[in-house]
Chain A
């Protein structure tokens, strides 16, 4: 329960901090930190337009997306504070729930019979397919390292090991951080701010969604963002600290992550679309190295 609360809490400022950081780096004042949420609220109040070719798939797509992300949020623990749903192998279900949402978003994009949405759907399906192994290998290696197979136990036991767990936590956080960029369509995979349909990945997929549907998708995206960043924060926060301290550190870490993304996005150009495949593959490669390190470690060489 606590886990869900802190996740929702950091959801409130996370997207705003990124936008603010980018604005500051480009020498502008930028909107307030809560502006993304104000925009979402405005969207939720708006009416919407539906394409005449669309069907029930389009009507349900955004809701399924949000519902699946919400349910996935129930799986994520906050440090040693357990998540609401936890069972051995729960990370498999976590990933596949996100997959369910993605599936519906993709088909609702294909529902409107437009070249743009088709393009977005195709790209999303392709990149998420490439990105998935990285997450599984990472969780597999953590399972191998800690000897447990659920999020809760993995993160609790990650801290009880020797200094090696810090190294592994760093690499895990690196992989998770990169995965976040892929999953939530940030630079260098995708440019969330662009107005150019032809170069977008996620945005072009939801081009025809308007009003509440778009709002739901944006909410889900923000939550998804925080889910991944919480997972990487979990690798670090010591369990011996007091709860208040943990939450404080967690929130600072989240804000730091957001600032980091903003900084990263300010000082580089995005990838060429064809480069994305290898970018994502190299994430998988790094988690593969991690698992090999752990294999060797487990065999006490």
Chain B
């Protein structure tokens, strides 16, 4: 089951890489959150109940529900333009694929006992694809999403080490929430300022 969830997670990464409409990100982000929730549920049955509840809360409530809704809210009816990405869609898919394949190969070559290879692959590809999305796009919201994808990767990375270091997971999640809220707050305020007089003409400025 865990394998399946991880495969699904990687498939969402492929779709994330080729998204052309900002709006298409939200369901994918929600799905990723759900998948992480499932992973945490399946993987972390050794930690004590409180911690588990905390982790599940973070993945389900925060990642799967709050973040997509929040994104949807701040961009409702405003940003739906094509992103002006320098890399065309099919190359983006190709690059994502290359990233995933390379992560597969590197994790295959690592042979580290403390690392769970499955998680490690998903985590690295998530982080790298997040970076790629950030590089490939210029608008604010997409950068936010790229950041969240990287966050998900870090969460997975913590799971990769999770069975050894439950504290590490907790720390990662705390960091996760802290930075997410921080950055989203900043973004939100910025966007609010930006759209004080919401006028679609300003959207074209947002593009570049």
> Which residues between 155 and 169 of chain A lie within 8 Å of chain B, taking CB atoms?
163-164, 167
Shortest Cβ distance from B90 into chain A, in angstroms?
4
Complex interface: chain A residues within 8 A of B63 (CB): none
A278, B18: Cα distance in complex, Å: 8
What DSSP secondary structure best describes chain B's contact surface?
A: helix
Complex interface: chain A residues within 8 A of B3 (CB): 164, 167, 293
A277 within 8 A of B: yes
Complex interface: chain B residues within 8 A of A286 (CB): 11, 14
Residue of A nearest to B121 (CB): A296
A164, B4: Cα distance in complex, Å: 8
A301 within 8 A of B: yes
A85 within 8 A of B: no
Decide if B108 touches A282 in the complex (CB within 8 Å).
no
Decide if A293 touches B97 in the complex (CB within 8 Å).
no
A167, B94: Cα distance in complex, Å: 24
A285 within 8 A of B: yes
Shortest Cβ distance from B207 into chain A, in angstroms?
18
Decide if B4 touches A167 in the complex (CB within 8 Å).
yes
Decide if B10 touches A289 in the complex (CB within 8 Å).
yes
Shortest Cβ distance from A162 into chain B, in angstroms?
11
Decide if B108 touches A299 in the complex (CB within 8 Å).
yes
Decide if B11 touches A289 in the complex (CB within 8 Å).
yes
Complex interface: chain A residues within 8 A of B96 (CB): 285
Shortest Cβ distance from A274 into chain B, in angstroms?
8
Complex interface: chain B residues within 8 A of A23 (CB): none
Residue of B nearest to A301 (CB): B117
B27 within 8 A of A: no
Task: Answer whether A281 and B93 are a contact pair too, CB < 8 Å, given A289-B11, A289-B14, A299-B108.
Answer: yes
Task: Answer whether A282 and B7 are a contact pair too, CB < 8 Å, given A275-B20, A301-B117.
Answer: no
A8 within 8 A of B: no
Complex interface: chain A residues within 8 A of B94 (CB): 281, 285
A interface footprint on B8-32 (CB within 8 Å = 1, 0 otherwise): 0011001100101000000000000
What DSSP secondary structure best describes chain A's contact surface?
A: helix
A24 within 8 A of B: no
B92 within 8 A of A: yes
Decide if B7 touches A278 in the complex (CB within 8 Å).
no
A167, B4: Cα distance in complex, Å: 6
Complex interface: chain A residues within 8 A of B90 (CB): 277-278, 281
A293, B11: Cα distance in complex, Å: 12
Shortest Cβ distance from A161 into chain B, in angstroms?
13
B interface footprint on A24-54 (CB within 8 Å = 1, 0 otherwise): 0000000000000000000000000000000
> Which residues between 54 and 104 of chain A lie within 8 Å of chain B, taking CB atoms?
none
Shortest Cβ distance from B16 into chain A, in angstroms?
11
Decide if B93 touches A289 in the complex (CB within 8 Å).
no
Decide if B100 touches A282 in the complex (CB within 8 Å).
no
A170, B3: Cα distance in complex, Å: 13
Shortest Cβ distance from A137 into chain B, in angstroms?
11
Decide if B89 touches A296 in the complex (CB within 8 Å).
no
Shortest Cβ distance from A286 into chain B, in angstroms?
6
Task: Answer whether A167 and B101 are a contact pair too, CB < 8 Å, given A278-B18, A286-B14, A301-B117.
Answer: no
A-B contact pairs, 15 of them (CB 8 A): A163-B1, A164-B3, A167-B3, A167-B7, A171-B7, A275-B20, A278-B18, A278-B89, A278-B92, A281-B93, A281-B94, A288-B97, A292-B101, A293-B7, A296-B104
